[in-house]
Chain A
């Protein structure tokens, strides 16, 4: 029995100033299993992984690793040491060098500093690529591969280091379905070779598709370890959120369709196009309406809403806000018309990572107020406090740099930024991507509440269920064109699929 265990973590505790990140957490990984590590944002998943890989020192507890078929206590001090012990991590963001070849990426920075034998390196890389069935050539420059293949190269690199434990931290969040499938077959292959895989993801379907076992964390504490077949989805969600089952299922309700009135639409565009969105389109949204753009990744959903906010250079179109002709040429024009935009790429377009939560929250309102009218410290503090309470943002203080918050809390802070501007029209582009189930539900609730208060909302999500739950009208896109519009009863998963596929 002992031999089947490849990694065992016992009573791990870790505190940060003011926060207890992990408390007495146990974690066991067996040989040849795919083990999902689940939990909301701030549950302690990342901290546990970082303790394991030596990024953070642990406060208390022991880590055992199977070395030559017996468990030895290890004390990892750096990710480099972890790699040498056979614990490899592949992160969500690819950490390879895009302008080197696949082979170079696989072997770079590996132990010895002796001269490189390019020939052997290429041959070896080609072998591994073939063995793992990765569709890439060893001599190909990495950035000419798709994201999924790059991700796989990162895994190949990790695996070749005699890896016993492979940690995959949200590897699928930027992949489309086919790419995910490829990744999964690679994971199954590794599993059959006896590698223990820790899989972190927010996609429940993927967990049920590929994992054998689930460990759930909540607020830094272990909730339990479960066989996948013993834990239905709803129970998993309730364990992660610590909420009752009824509460979760109660969320599954539609919002009534906004009625047609004589009032002019809040926002109306005719023939709108931008440099990123060259197919001109018409669009309108009424007061209190929630609609959504749907389509596959790359179908032009984001580009369309970015055109509405004038985030890319506008090349044409007429815009009416509340029935008045308006020119929106840059984001500030849109903001001044009461339009807010929560961007898809939180890290690059959303947060200002080194600045405080407070500064991040007041940013948009501050810009609208003007360059020569800064808020006083007290005003800013009051705004930040109000919204931290309102949205339940978990942060030690308003002065904490936003980058030290978890993803979901960062997203809430950006949401707070736009709510603070009191928008009449809010565009939420993938507001729930990469954040935990609990916060996802909270954000959906918030969307519905805002709509009831009369805010118009455009909602984009990769999860169709989420869209069906929140939107009363769906605009379907394919190949950068609007190919259909679904209202009320027509909105079913089937219908959407058919419309995307172009079959009536």
Chain B
């Protein structure tokens, strides 16, 4: 029991999991029905699952995907990319402009997605070059696209906010006929599996952490810090394109001004709540993803409590302060010491009992 507790408190996932657990408990006490999942028929005549749980997972998909790329950038570059949401608007615009100039079929959608991935990866690579080669601080380097990104998105579709509609797109942003789970959740799961495979089959995780902790050591052991950072930015670009395209499919149009507005801060917050140091180094992708779900769960909870939407952000901020303070080393150390004091006597007794 002691060692399990120790392992749990030391694990990076301890705080995010605990926070998630608290939100769940809070909701169960407040309203036992909160997590019930109902089967309903939607406007398109599909049998679908509905409920708060579904909307949490569904709503957090884009931020969760973005947080994967952000985690890699944070770890290797010791800083954050604040342009992800603006780049998602660019990717979304490319996606829509390709769709509008063609008849919407599955190959065209795939092509449009592929092109938006390429464009987003290139823009992200631009950030990467500034950060990795020119050694500009990430926040300053990405400030450029943070401010210019939505203007670039505006040009791509000639200043309009065109709509795209097709049953195919609805199934990407909503439900595939016959499958009751929202497609964004499925895409998120697939994405998570893919990144897990990448981390398993390559040394991306190890190299990224080594670069983030000590570039000089990385260099002395044959790892190129520049290359690793660029890889992080390229992967983040793909994440950006995916998040952007999902959001376009969900709302059926591209609005370069509002698409994923302010999402970059939620993404950075997910990374932080996930127990990752924003100063780089060790990371845990799953922590960031859980972080994204915590943020969304909070939002949904607050809405369910009928908190006016304008006030939601303030309440969210309070909870987030609590989480961040609790995961600080100061508090962790205090909890650990208190635990030791409380259970020291018990442990000694156990030792004596064993000896006897």
Q: Could you list which residues of chain A lie within 8 angstroms of chain B, going by C-beta atoms?
A: 17, 309, 311, 330-332, 335, 341, 343, 348-355, 359, 363-364, 366-368, 370-372, 374, 417
Given contacts A355-B209, A374-B202, A374-B203, contact A331 B222 (CB under 8 A): yes
Query: What is the CA–CA distance of A366 and B205 in the complex, to the nearest angstrom?
Result: 12
Q: Tell me the chain B residues, 196-240 only, with Cβ under 8 Å from chain A.
A: 200-204, 206-207, 209-210, 213-214, 216-224
Inter-subunit contact A368/B222 (CB<8 Å): yes
Which one of A335, A341, A371 contacts B207 once the chains associate, using CB atoms below 8 Å? A371
Given contacts A311-B220, A331-B219, A341-B220, contact A354 B203 (CB under 8 A): no
User: Which chain A positions have C-beta within 8 A of B207?
Assistant: 371
B282 at the A interface (CB under 8 A): yes
Inter-subunit contact B209/A363 (CB<8 Å): no
User: Which chain B positions have C-beta within 8 A of A364?
Assistant: 221-222
Inter-subunit contact B216/A349 (CB<8 Å): yes
User: Which chain A positions have C-beta within 8 A of B220?
Assistant: 309, 311, 331, 341, 343, 349-350
Report the minimal beta-carbon distance from A402 to chain B, rounded to whole angstroms: 10
B149 at the A interface (CB under 8 A): no
Interface string of B1-30 (1 = CB under 8 A from A): 000001000000000000000000000000
The 7 A-B pairs of least Cβ separation, nearest first, read A332-B222, A367-B222, A349-B220, A331-B222, A349-B216, A374-B203, A352-B213
B281 at the A interface (CB under 8 A): yes
Which one of A311, A341, A355 contacts B213 once the chains associate, using CB atoms below 8 Å? A355
Query: What is the CA–CA distance of A60 and B218 in the complex, to the nearest angstrom?
Result: 42
Give me 20 A-to-B residue pairs in the complex whose CB atoms sit less than 8 angstroms apart, sorted by A's number: A311-B219, A330-B222, A331-B221, A350-B217, A350-B220, A351-B214, A352-B209, A352-B214, A354-B209, A354-B281, A355-B282, A359-B206, A363-B206, A364-B222, A366-B206, A367-B203, A367-B223, A371-B202, A371-B203, A372-B202
Inter-subunit contact A355/B210 (CB<8 Å): yes
Which one of A353, A367, A371 contacts B221 once the chains associate, using CB atoms below 8 Å? A367
User: Which chain B positions have C-beta within 8 A of A349?
Assistant: 214, 216-217, 220
* With A330-B222, A355-B213 already in contact, 10 other A-B pairs whose C-beta atoms are closer than 8 Å: A332-B222, A341-B220, A349-B216, A349-B220, A351-B214, A352-B217, A355-B206, A355-B209, A355-B282, A372-B203
User: Which chain A positions have C-beta within 8 A of B221?
Assistant: 331, 335, 363-364, 367, 417
Given contacts A368-B222, A374-B206, contact A354 B217 (CB under 8 A): no
Inter-subunit contact B222/A348 (CB<8 Å): no
Report the minimal beta-carbon distance from B210 to chain A, rounded to whole angstroms: 5
Residue of A nearest to B281 (CB): A354
Query: What is the CA–CA distance of A331 and B224 in the complex, to the nearest angstrom?
Result: 10
User: Which chain B positions have C-beta within 8 A of A372?
Assistant: 201-203
Query: What is the CA–CA distance of A363 and B214 in the complex, to the nearest angstrom?
Result: 13
Residue of B nearest to A362 (CB): B206
Residue of A nearest to B340 (CB): A17
Report the minimal beta-carbon distance from A458 to chain B, rounded to whole angstroms: 16
Query: What is the CA–CA distance of A374 and B209 in the complex, to the nearest angstrom?
Result: 14
Query: What is the CA–CA distance of A349 and B6 in the complex, to the nearest angstrom?
Result: 31
Query: What is the CA–CA distance of A348 and B213 in the complex, to the nearest angstrom?
Result: 10
Given contacts A311-B219, A335-B222, A367-B222, contact A374 B213 (CB under 8 A): no
Residue of B nearest to A375 (CB): B203
Inter-subunit contact B203/A352 (CB<8 Å): no
Inter-subunit contact B203/A366 (CB<8 Å): yes
User: Which chain B positions have C-beta within 8 A of A370?
Assistant: 203
Query: What is the CA–CA distance of A442 and B262 in the complex, to the nearest angstrom?
Result: 58
Query: What is the CA–CA distance of A353 and B212 in the complex, to the nearest angstrom?
Result: 11
Query: What is the CA–CA distance of A364 and B221 in the complex, to the nearest angstrom?
Result: 6
Query: What is the CA–CA distance of A473 and B220 in the complex, to the nearest angstrom?
Result: 26
Given contacts A371-B202, A371-B203, contact A348 B217 (CB under 8 A): yes
Query: What is the CA–CA distance of A184 and B223 in the complex, to the nearest angstrom?
Result: 42
Inter-subunit contact A374/B282 (CB<8 Å): no
Query: What is the CA–CA distance of A361 and B142 in the complex, to the nearest angstrom?
Result: 36
Query: What is the CA–CA distance of A353 and B280 in the complex, to the nearest angstrom?
Result: 13
Inter-subunit contact A354/B219 (CB<8 Å): no
Inter-subunit contact B202/A354 (CB<8 Å): no
Inter-subunit contact A363/B213 (CB<8 Å): no
Residue of B nearest to A363 (CB): B221
Report the minimal beta-carbon distance from B191 to chain A, rounded to whole angstroms: 20
Inter-subunit contact A348/B223 (CB<8 Å): no
Inter-subunit contact A352/B210 (CB<8 Å): yes
Query: What is the CA–CA distance of A343 and B216 in the complex, to the nearest angstrom?
Result: 10
Residue of B nearest to A401 (CB): B282
Report the minimal beta-carbon distance from B288 to chain A, rounded to whole angstroms: 17
Specify which of B207, B219, B220 lies most central, judged by the most chain A CB atoms within 10 Å of its CB: B220
User: Which chain A positions have C-beta within 8 A of B203?
Assistant: 366-367, 370-372, 374
User: Which chain B positions have C-beta within 8 A of A367?
Assistant: 203, 221-223
User: Which chain B positions have C-beta within 8 A of A353?
Assistant: 213-214
Query: What is the CA–CA distance of A354 and B213 in the complex, to the nearest angstrom?
Result: 7
Report the minimal beta-carbon distance from B86 to chain A, rounded to whole angstroms: 31
Which one of B6, B201, B218, B223 contacts A374 once the chains associate, using CB atoms below 8 Å? B201
Specify which of B203, B213, B219, B282 lies most central, judged by the most chain A CB atoms within 10 Å of its CB: B203
Report the minimal beta-carbon distance from B186 to chain A, rounded to whole angstroms: 28
Inter-subunit contact B216/A348 (CB<8 Å): yes
Q: Tell me the chain B residues, 117-171 only, with Cβ under 8 Å from chain A.
A: none
Report the minimal beta-carbon distance from B279 to chain A, rounded to whole angstroms: 11
Specify which of B6, B201, B217 lies most central, judged by the most chain A CB atoms within 10 Å of its CB: B217
Residue of B nearest to A367 (CB): B222
Query: What is the CA–CA distance of A190 and B102 in the complex, to the nearest angstrom?
Result: 85
Query: What is the CA–CA distance of A355 and B203 in the complex, to the nearest angstrom?
Result: 14
User: Which chain B positions have C-beta within 8 A of A351?
Assistant: 214, 217
Query: What is the CA–CA distance of A335 and B218 in the complex, to the nearest angstrom?
Result: 13
Specify which of A17, A330, A332, A352 lies most central, judged by the most chain B CB atoms within 10 Å of its CB: A352
Query: What is the CA–CA distance of A107 and B288 in the complex, to the nearest angstrom?
Result: 43
Residue of B nearest to A348 (CB): B216
User: Which chain A positions have C-beta within 8 A of B6?
Assistant: 17
User: Which chain B positions have C-beta within 8 A of A371?
Assistant: 202-204, 207
Query: What is the CA–CA distance of A459 and B222 in the complex, to the nearest angstrom?
Result: 21
Residue of A nearest to B219 (CB): A331
Inter-subunit contact A354/B282 (CB<8 Å): yes
Residue of A nearest to B207 (CB): A371
Residue of B nearest to A368 (CB): B222
Report the minimal beta-carbon distance from A374 to chain B, rounded to whole angstroms: 5
Specify which of B213, B214, B218 lies most central, judged by the most chain A CB atoms within 10 Å of its CB: B214
Specify which of B223, B224, B281, B282 lies most central, judged by the most chain A CB atoms within 10 Å of its CB: B223
Query: What is the CA–CA distance of A371 and B221 in the complex, to the nearest angstrom?
Result: 13
Report the minimal beta-carbon distance from B116 to chain A, rounded to whole angstroms: 27
User: Which chain A positions have C-beta within 8 A of B200?
Assistant: 374
Residue of B nearest to A372 (CB): B202
User: Which chain A positions have C-beta within 8 A of B210?
Assistant: 352, 355, 363
Query: What is the CA–CA distance of A374 and B207 in the complex, to the nearest angstrom?
Result: 11
User: Which chain B positions have C-beta within 8 A of A417?
Assistant: 221
Query: What is the CA–CA distance of A234 and B218 in the complex, to the nearest angstrom?
Result: 40
Query: What is the CA–CA distance of A371 and B223 in the complex, to the nearest angstrom?
Result: 9
User: Which chain A positions have C-beta within 8 A of B216?
Assistant: 348-349
User: Which chain B positions have C-beta within 8 A of A366?
Assistant: 203, 206
Query: What is the CA–CA distance of A309 and B223 in the complex, to the nearest angstrom?
Result: 14
User: Which chain A positions have C-beta within 8 A of B214?
Assistant: 348-349, 351-353
Query: What is the CA–CA distance of A335 and B223 in the complex, to the nearest angstrom?
Result: 11
Query: What is the CA–CA distance of A260 and B213 in the complex, to the nearest angstrom?
Result: 45
